[in-house]
Amino acid sequence: MLNTRFLPLLGLCLTTLSCTSSTVPPLRGIEEPVDLERFMGSWYVIAAIPIHFPLLPLFSEKDAHNGVESYTLTAEGVIETTYTFHRGSFDGPVRTFRPRARVANPPVNSEWKMKFDWYLPAADFLILHLDADYRHTVIGVPDRKYVWIMSRTPAIPPDEYARLLDHLARIGYDTAQIVPVPQQWPATPAATDVLSGYPATPAPGPESR
């Protein structure tokens, strides 16, 4: 059970997902309508600027391996979300987050209000890119603090990955902060980074994070 002494701190940390302080205009979701039913299902997290709270490691996704985000749309219009990953290595401890979202800009459906628990404010999550075949997507936040590059498969072609990084750079992201989320399926004790050779910046060492 979560120690209630940490609730104010957790609330403050997660509130930063919804707040912007930069002079750069906040991002918005894509203008093309998103078919929610088609968007549902599982997505492999290929790379990210992950949520990381140094004082609350239990609620951080730093050093995620085999990260998979899954969405289910309920009859009430709630998007049930499950993000599961291994922390630190492919055989590391499993962490699972289960936030719930509602669409904030119907019928476009590219901006969501995500709640991680009842006592926390809703955070803004945006679909920043979605290819026509619903194979690759990018989820971000208005202030560009976090981002997730996701695919229907555990790896994407290097040229497509490069195009996504270019797109993120054009809309104001610091792509040097984007780190790979290693994927290896089926999971085995021998870790192999499927992003080897991709034009992504390696994760910095502990002293710089």
31-45, 46-60, 92-106, 155-169: least confident range: 46-60
Residue 108 CB neighbours (<10 A): 16
CB atoms within 10 A of CB 156: 23
Reading the block at residue 108, the tokens are: 């476009």
Q: In whole angstroms, what separates CA 29 from the centre of its chain?
A: 14
Range in 56-60, 172-176, 191-195 the model is least confident about: 191-195
* Res. 200: pLDDT tops 60: no
Lowest mean per-residue pLDDT among 77-86, 116-125, 155-164, 195-204: 195-204
What pLDDT is stored for residue 52 in this prediction? 80
Checking if the pLDDT of 80 tops 80, the result is yes
Please report the pLDDT score of residue 151 as a whole number. Answer: 97
- Give the number of other CB atoms < 10 A from CB of residue 183: 22
Confidence bin at 202 (pLDDT 50/70/90): very low
Alpha carbons 71 and 127: distance in angstroms, whole number = 13
Q: Which pLDDT score is estimated for 102? A: 97
Cβ atoms 48, 181 nearer than 8 A: yes
Distances (CA, A) of 62 to 87, 135, 161: 7, 25, 21
> Is the pLDDT confidence value at 135 over 60?
yes
Amino acid identity, position 209: R
Domains defined along the chain, listed by start: 4-202 (2.40.128.20)
What is the pLDDT, as a whole number, of residue 74? Answer: 97
- Confidence category of residue 11, pLDDT binned at 50, 70, 90: very low
